[in-house]
Amino acid sequence: MEEKTIQIAGSITVDELSKSLGLSVTELIGTLFKNGIVATINQRLDFETASIILEELGLKNVKLERKNTSTKTSNYHRELSDKAVLRPPVVAVMGHVDHGKTTLLDTLLHKKTVDDEAGGITQHISAYQLKHNDRLITFLDTPGHEAFAAIRQHGAMLTDIVVIVVAADDGVKPQTVEAINFAKTANAKIIVAINKIDREGADVNRTMADLSQHGLQPEEWGGDIVMVPISAKQNQNLDQLLDMILLTADLEELKADVDIPAEGLVIESHMETGKGSVVNLLVTGGELKTGEFIVAGNTYAKVRTMLDWQGRPRGKATPSTPVTVTGFKELPSFGDRFEEAKDEKTARKMALLNAQAASDESASTNVTSSDLLRMMSTADNSKVFNVIVKGDVLGSVTSVVDSLKLIDTGGEITLNIVHTGVGDISENDVYMAAGDNTVIYGFNVNVPINISKMAARDGVPVRIYKVIYELIDDAKREMENLLEAEIVEEDKGAMKIKGVFRTEKTSIIAGGEVLDGDVKAGYLARVIQGKKQIGEAEVISVQMEKNKVDNLVAGETGGLALKTTSKIDLQIGDRLEFFTRESKKRTL
Ligand code: GDP
């Protein structure tokens, strides 16, 4: 089947999508309808919704691609001037767990920076730089799923080269495939490091064959992917790997303009006591200097301090340099683009415009994937638990979200993560949560007093925790409250009717003999005529020889007043089966 790629810039209308797919609008609307979406021809669908629909349609030969239109696109692909200069490559190391990513980075860092007087690295690193053959290489230490998330959210292309680590004794595994897909989505060059060649059972050829099965053809075999057999642990061939990185960089002619206003991407952000917001940036163009104003997303900074990845102060940073800055008014998000502003007034204005653009963007998309999930789930009667998760650093947000996803409700409750982010609970969080039964969870963050007032006014629950499992327990309780209560019935006894004194629309007075168990006011009774149940009644009072009694037990004869919801034609010889019914809260 012919492969096809459809580019989506933000969102796509039903009409456009059907045309691109070569389907009739009716067919597409029909599929949407089946998934609980009543759509019109001009309805806009976001990227995720379109992907889900494609999957529903089973169109495996069609790929969706995000087209970058917003201000958040990567600077790496901007038009360069003639004056652009070479810059260090930005490299991400990815691969399956335990295949040796950490060991590779450790060995490289140790090897290349051991002489450095800065010595022990204690700060939270999300990027570092090595020197090889007197040239710099920037490594990003970004967990795969975060990089993916950033691409999805911001279209940020952080990396030029992805080094995929594959253990030669284990071969291609799910996260290897994920890494390959990531590199392709990010339009990055791939270099494969076939690791652990020192191990018994390592088979470089088999690993290469395995990789070619997954679309990566080794150069040795006439393909275009450089594969370097290494031992990260024993420091074998790492120089060759670095050579290959630089060679790839040369072939790609990675360049950047330096005489333009500084710009780049946010690669990490968190709050620190005494320092406020601490933000790691990757400069991608221009030169960033302390004292300058920069805007990222809906916030801005006057760059107060700037440190390199080893914590040494720097006055300026050139393209491909990772730096840590302080001075942001609020925490920008991972993947946000930053750009220089000429003064504070401009910075503030730009931040405001960005905030507006972001809300316009979400408003212009009629159907989002979370709407779709919500609709899909209501379609099969399951309930939705909406949450917003805020955390002090991205890692904690990810852990909380991952743990929330692990809560097993047997499919009865769908977890809908409305929004996640780094930083204190904000006005925007409360705004998003209002009116939708959404709980805001904060992990190691604060709620400013005005925000807490706003949340109270809008009836939005805000829960702050410092321990993950306590937060998860809270979420479990919330989800338990959504579970349908369990109905427990317990049999109590039976009576044979010997006399019917009155039957009215909603009440019966009758008498009989208790065959077993007992009967008491408050019990419910199934009314059995012959073999059939003809109704249900509630015992209001019990009498024995004109006196009200607490109960009648087996062998005793007495009278009952019963309440019914509709008229029951009770007859002599019918049987009442007594029981109690309780609804019990369920737990997870
Ligand atoms: P990660 O999960 O991809 O970061 O993998 P790690 O770097 O933590 O490595 C997982 C395990 O494999 C550790 O026990 C490492 O010591 C080991 N390991 C990594 N690289 C090599 C290698 O080249 N040779 C051998 N023999 N073991 C390695």
Residue 230 CA to ligand 1 centre (angstroms):
12
Measured N-to-C along each axis, helices 47-57 and 25-34 cross at an angle, to the nearest 10 degrees, of 100
Please report the atom of ligand 1 found closest to the CA of residue 96: 3
Nearest protein CA to atom 24 of ligand 1, as residue? 196
Say how many CA atoms lie within 13 Å of 94 toward its Cβ.
30
Distance 232 CA to ligand 1 centre (A): 7
Give me the DSSP letters along 204-227: HHHHHHHHHHTT--BGGGTSSBEE
Ligand 1 mean position to 102 CA, how many Å?
7
* pLDDT-wise least confident of 151-155, 211-215, 355-359, 539-543: 151-155
Helix, strand, or coil (residue 152): helix
Of all atoms in ligand 1, which is nearest to the CA of residue 236?
23
Ligand 1 atom closest to 230 (CA): 23
Conformation bin of residue 284: beta by default, left when phi > 0, alpha when psi is -120 to 50: alpha
- 438-443 vs 383-391, strand pairing mode: parallel
* Nearest ligand 1 atom, CA 99: 3
- Comparing 20-34, 65-79, 216-230, 500-514, the range with the smallest average pLDDT is 65-79
Nearest atom of ligand 1 to the alpha carbon of 199: 26
The residue whose C-alpha atom lies closest to atom 18 belonging to ligand 1 is 100
Range with the lowest mean pLDDT among 190-194, 254-258, 359-363, 502-506? 359-363
The protein residue whose alpha carbon is closest to atom 22 in ligand 1 is 196
Report the C-alpha gap between 505 and 341 in whole angstroms. Answer: 80
Is 553 strand, coil or helix? Answer: strand
pLDDT, mean of residues 489-514: 93
Distances (CA, A) of 381 to 317, 413, 488, 510: 55, 9, 22, 42
pTM exceeds 0.95, yes or no? no
Which letter, b or e, does each residue of 513-525 get, where b requires 16 or more Cβ atoms within 10 Å of its Cβ? ebeebbbbeebbb
- Report pLDDT for 68: 52
pLDDT band at 380 (very low <50, low <70, confident <90, very high): very low
Which protein residue's CA is at the shortest distance from atom 17 of ligand 1? Answer: 100
Distances in whole angstroms, Cα of residue 156 to Cα of each of 67, 147, 178, 335, 587: 11, 9, 17, 6, 42
274-283, 425-434, 443-452: lowest mean pLDDT where?
425-434
Q: From the CA of 150, how far away is ligand 1's center (Å)?
A: 27
Q: What is the pLDDT of residues 409-441, one digit of tens each?
A: 777 888 888 888 888 998 888 888 876 678 999
Q: Where do runs of H (alpha helix) occur along 253-390?
A: 344-364, 369-379
Residue nearest atom 6 of ligand 1, based on CA coordinates = 100
Please state the φ and ψ torsions of residue 390, each to the nearest 5 degrees.
-120, 145
Model pLDDT for residues 231-244, shown as the tens digit of each residue:
999 999 999 999 99
Q: Is the pLDDT of residue 73 over 50?
A: no
What pLDDT does residue 418 have? 83
**Ligand 1 centroid distance, CA of 585 (Å):** 48
By alpha-carbon position, which residue is closest to atom 2 of ligand 1? Answer: 98
φ and ψ at residue 443, rounded to 5 degrees:
-115, 115
The preferred substitution site among 98, 107, 175, 203 for testing ligand 1, maximizing ligand atoms within 8 Å of CB, is 98
Measure 229 CA to ligand 1 centroid, in angstroms.
Answer: 14
Q: Which residues fall within 8 angstroms of residue 364, CB to CB, at 6 or more apart?
A: 10, 11, 44
> Residue 378 pLDDT more than 70?
no
Least confident of 18-32, 64-78, 155-169, 408-422: 64-78
For 353, the 3-state DSSP assignment is: helix
**Contact assessment for residue 530 and residue 495, using Cβ atoms and an 8 Å cutoff:** no
Structure tokens given for 351 = 């931040």
Indicate the pLDDT class of residue 80, thresholds 50, 70 and 90: confident
Distance between CA atoms of 182 and 96, rounded to whole angstroms? Answer: 13
Phi, psi angles (nearest 5°) of residue 354: -60, -40
Cα 171 to ligand 1 centre (Å): 14
| Contacts of 171 by beta carbon, 8 Å cutoff, 6+ apart | 206, 207, 210
Nearest to 580 by CA among 512, 522, 506: 522
Cα 5 to Cα 51, 53, 60: the distances in Å are 12, 15, 11
Q: Tens of pLDDT along 473-497?
A: 999 999 988 887 788 899 999 999 9
Place of tokens 């190391």: 93
Compute, in angstroms, the gap from residue 496 CA to the centroid of ligand 1: 77
Alpha-carbon gap, residue 381 to 503, rounded angstroms? 40
In which band, very low, low, confident or very high, does the pLDDT at 586 lie, cut at 50, 70 and 90? confident
Q: What is the largest CA-CA distance in the chain?
A: 109
Q: Supply the residue whose CA is at minimum distance from atom 11 of ligand 1.
A: 98
Write the burial class of residue 494 (CB in 10 Å: 0-12 exposed, 13-18 middle, 19+ buried): buried
Cα–ligand 1 centroid distance for 220 (angstroms)? 26
Phi-psi region of 456 (alpha: psi -120 to 50; beta: other; left: phi over 0): alpha
Q: From ligand 1's centre to the CA of 201, what distance in Å?
A: 15
Please tell me the distance between residue 281's alpha carbon and the centre of ligand 1 in angstroms.
Answer: 29
**Residue 327: which residues within 8 A CB-CB, separation 6 or more?**
276, 277, 301, 302, 303, 304, 305
Nearest protein Cα to ligand 1, atom 10: 98
Could you give the CA distance from residue 554 to residue 149 in angstroms, rounded to a whole number? 68
pLDDT at 114 over 50: no
Which residue has the CA at smallest separation from atom 9 of ligand 1?
100
pLDDT tens-digit series, residues 321-376: 999 999 998 888 877 889 999 999 999 888 887 776 665 554 444 444 444 544 44
Protein residues with CB under 6 Å of any ligand 1 atom: 95, 97-103, 195-196, 198-199, 231-233
The ligand 1 atom nearest the CA atom of 231: 23
Contact 94, 166 (CB under 8 A): no
190 CA distance to ligand 1 middle (Å): 21
Residue to probe by mutation, ligand 1, list 103, 145, 165, most atoms within 8 Å of CB: 103
For residue 1, give the DSSP letter: -
| Candidate from 101, 192, 233 with most ligand 1 atoms within 8 A of CB, to mutate | 233
Torsion, Cα 363 365 370 374, to 10 degrees, reads 90
Round to whole Å and give the CA distance between 369 and 46.
7
Find the 397 Cα to ligand 1 centroid distance in Å. 27
Instruction: Tell me the residue type at 265.
Output: L
Instruction: Provide the pLDDT confidence category of residue 72 given band limits of 50, 70 and 90.
Output: very low
Among the listed residues 35, 20, 18, the one whose alpha carbon sits nearest the alpha carbon of residue 67: 20
Q: Which residue, judged by its Cα, is nearest atom 20 of ligand 1?
A: 100
Which numbered atom of ligand 1 lies nearest the CA of 232? 23
- Using the mean position of ligand 1's atoms as its centre, give its distance from the Cα of residue 183 in Å: 22
- Residue 309: the pLDDT is 87
Neighbouring-strand partners of residue 63: 5
103 Cα nearest atom in ligand 1: 7
Q: What is the pLDDT of residues 543-581, one digit of tens each?
A: 998 899 999 999 999 999 999 988 899 999 999 999 999
Q: What are phi and psi of 175, to 5 degrees?
A: -70, -20
Say yes or no to pLDDT of 124 above 50: no
Mean pLDDT of the chain: 84
Tell how far the Cα of 103 is from the centroid of ligand 1, in angstroms.
Answer: 6
